[in-house]
A and B are shown apart, each in its own frame.
Chain A
Amino acid sequence: MKKQSRKTPELVCPAGTPSALRVAVDAGADVVYCGFRDETNARNFPGLNFSRAEMSEGTEYAHKHKARVYAAINTFPQAGNTALWHKAIDDAVGCGADALIVADMGLAAYAARMHPETRLHLSVQASASNPDAIRYYCETFNVKRVVLPRVLSIPEITALNGNIPCETEAFVFGGLCVMAEGRCLLSSYATGKSPNMNGVCSPAGDVRYAQGKDGSMASKLGAFTINRFAEGEPAGYPTICKGRFKCGGETGYIFEEPASLDALSMMPELLQSGVAALKIEGRQRGKAYTEAVVKAFRKALSDYARGWPLEIGALIALAEGGQSTAGAYDKTWR
């Protein structure tokens, strides 16, 4: 059943702009994933993403340097408006993308039917986390790889890898979404927009920061105050899941503290679990982030292959809230 690769895993890296794509490739990415400038991908931020021409040029650059490009078309088409998503699939193939990352079943069916020669990957947004669900996607749409939700422990990933007919890709660094990805309604509750349908979690248009005279900063999402940071206190993203609220007479982080995933310390176990690819989150981040994180993980893979010790914690300056966690990979995390 298991079809996991035994070779060095792919390093799959984010790019929100053509500059970031080139930086990622130059820093040692095997694969760069990116999306078009619209709501067909889950990082639909102002000023971010690729035009069709940029996607073509980026793919050409990557291929010239022996890297690949995966196109993220991983939001769910809106009722009565599937044309935008279908066009994104067609155009990504036309731009030379090496694989399509989709979440919606209808879109997976369209891609499998119209472009059977192009690899199909299942986005984390599909939240497929059990063998039956993954097997269904593989058998029905010929999905070759599934991006695993960031809620599975390493023993769970190992067990999963032994029971599915496709490769798996696991997040190792970046934003940590602890909800059932693709099904989270927190952003939608506060703003009417969600990563699932609009490609934005806590859309910037609904975010306001208020700077206090005492050096404090309040972050607001729609009508809700998400957090208030004291002067000098490291800040986090204005997402409800990372908010600090008054609840039961106490003020604290109800869901999760602002922290980034950093699974570099768990990389040996992750590799032994049979994952075929390690994924870095952060298409919304700057190219300085891309360069630093890609280089760190490329070096870690190289050090691991040589049996050298891994350099842990070097990326803390890039972490949300100034702290990192191994997430669900480490069982001490709730």
Chain B
Amino acid sequence: MKKDPRRLRFIEPFVRRAFCAVLDAHPEIADRLGNYAASRIRIDIRGAPFCMVLQPSKRAAWLYRRGAKVKSEATVSGGFMTLLKLASGDGDGDALFFSRDIGISGDTEAVVALRNALDDSGLDIIHEIFSAFGFPGLPLRLGYKAFRSMRPLVAGMFGS
């Protein structure tokens, strides 16, 4: 089988495992998504050398090199910290859209459904992801809170 040069296969299994762990821990996300769970949503982290495509119904996550042409129904773009805030319900999606901190394209319904599903889930994304790999959640959560408090300092490194 021919390799797809656009994909970052080395990291993909880790991303997929973390994504599945989130879906397993929060079945209400799929419930709220309904039919939109079949949508492929591209997550474009501004400044990152890659983008992610997530498809909840297939429990699938793909990682592509930045700039690669990727098939998806919708795209959400934003800085790393902004997207993290959005996924964790710490930021209001509409306000982040008004301020242009996040951008949306493609199927707006799918993005709105995802936003609402995540917002309701009470997802503690750092805890969930690290727990998926057997790391203790609490110290990492505290570390993340400290990381957020230093946000202005790290914004330049990771994008706001």
Specify the chain B residue showing the minimal Cβ separation from A237. Answer: B94
Q: Which B residues are in CB contact (< 8 Å) with A284?
A: 94
A287-316 interface bits toward B, Cβ cutoff 8 Å, 1 = contact, 0 = none: 111001000000000000000000000000
Whole-angstrom distance between the alpha carbons of A259 and B90 in the complex?
A: 23
Contact call A286/B93, Cβ cutoff below 8 A: yes
Contact call B112/A204, Cβ cutoff below 8 A: yes
* Interchain Cβ contacts under 8 Å between A and B, 15 examples: A17-B116, A19-B120, A48-B112, A204-B108, A204-B111, A205-B107, A205-B108, A208-B105, A208-B106, A231-B100, A233-B100, A258-B98, A285-B95, A289-B95, A317-B95
Q: Which of A131-139, A183-191, A209-217, A243-251 contacts B (4 or more CB under 8 A)?
A: A209-217
Number of A-B residue pairs having CB atoms within 8 Å of each other in the complex:
107
Contact call B113/A47, Cβ cutoff below 8 A: yes
Q: Is A149's CB within 8 Å of the partner chain B? A: no
A209-243 interface bits toward B, Cβ cutoff 8 Å, 1 = contact, 0 = none: 11100000100000000000101111111000000
Chain B CB within 10 A, most for which of A20, A47, A286 = A47
B92-124 residues at the A interface, CB under 8 angstroms? 92-95, 97-100, 103-117, 119-122
Q: Which of A4-12, A60-68, A103-111, A319-327 contacts B (4 or more CB under 8 A)?
A: A319-327
Contact call B109/A205, Cβ cutoff below 8 A: yes
Contact call A287/B89, Cβ cutoff below 8 A: yes
Q: Which A residues are in CB contact (< 8 Å) with B116?
A: 16-17, 45-48
Q: Is B64's CB within 8 Å of the partner chain A? A: no
Contact call B94/A286, Cβ cutoff below 8 A: yes
Specify the chain B residue showing the minimal Cβ separation from A234. Answer: B98
Contact call B36/A46, Cβ cutoff below 8 A: yes
Whole-angstrom distance between the alpha carbons of A235 and B100 in the complex?
A: 7
Q: How many residues of B contact A (CB 8 A)?
A: 35
Contact call B103/A209, Cβ cutoff below 8 A: yes
Chain B CB within 10 A, most for which of A17, A203, A210, A232 = A17
Whole-angstrom distance between the alpha carbons of A236 and B106 in the complex?
A: 18
Q: Is A177's CB within 8 Å of the partner chain B? A: no
Contact call A288/B98, Cβ cutoff below 8 A: no
Chain A CB within 10 A, most for which of B32, B110, B117 = B32
Given contacts A46-B112, A319-B95, list 19 more A-B pairs with CB under 8 A: A17-B32, A17-B119, A47-B34, A47-B117, A203-B109, A204-B108, A205-B109, A217-B103, A235-B100, A285-B93, A285-B94, A286-B91, A286-B115, A287-B89, A288-B92, A292-B92, A318-B94, A320-B94, A321-B98
Contact call A217/B100, Cβ cutoff below 8 A: yes
Q: Is A18's CB within 8 Å of the partner chain B? A: yes
Q: How many residues of A contact B (CB 8 A)?
A: 40
Whole-angstrom distance between the alpha carbons of A80 and B100 in the complex?
A: 43
Whole-angstrom distance between the alpha carbons of A204 and B93 in the complex?
A: 14
Distance (whole angstroms) from the CB of A257 to the closest CB of chain B: 13
Q: Which B residues are in CB contact (< 8 Å) with A231?
A: 100
Q: Is A207's CB within 8 Å of the partner chain B? A: yes
Q: Of B91, B92, B98, B120, which contacts A236 at CB under 8 A?
A: B98
Whole-angstrom distance between the alpha carbons of A229 and B95 in the complex?
A: 15
Whole-angstrom distance between the alpha carbons of A258 and B100 in the complex?
A: 14
Whole-angstrom distance between the alpha carbons of A209 and B150 in the complex?
A: 33
Contact call A47/B94, Cβ cutoff below 8 A: no
Q: A46-B36, A235-B100, A286-B94 are in contact. Are A20 and B120 (CB under 8 A)?
A: yes
Whole-angstrom distance between the alpha carbons of A286 and B105 in the complex?
A: 20
Q: Which A residues are in CB contact (< 8 Å) with B121?
A: 19
Distance (whole angstroms) from the CB of A48 to the closest CB of chain B: 5
A33-53 interface bits toward B, Cβ cutoff 8 Å, 1 = contact, 0 = none: 000000000000111100000
Q: A234-B99, A234-B100 are in contact. Are A288 and B34 (CB under 8 A)?
A: no
Distance (whole angstroms) from the CB of A292 to the closest CB of chain B: 8
Whole-angstrom distance between the alpha carbons of A286 and B119 in the complex?
A: 6
Q: Is B43's CB within 8 Å of the partner chain A? A: no
Distance (whole angstroms) from the CB of A42 to the closest CB of chain B: 16
Distance (whole angstroms) from the CB of A69 to the closest CB of chain B: 17
Whole-angstrom distance between the alpha carbons of A269 and B103 in the complex?
A: 39
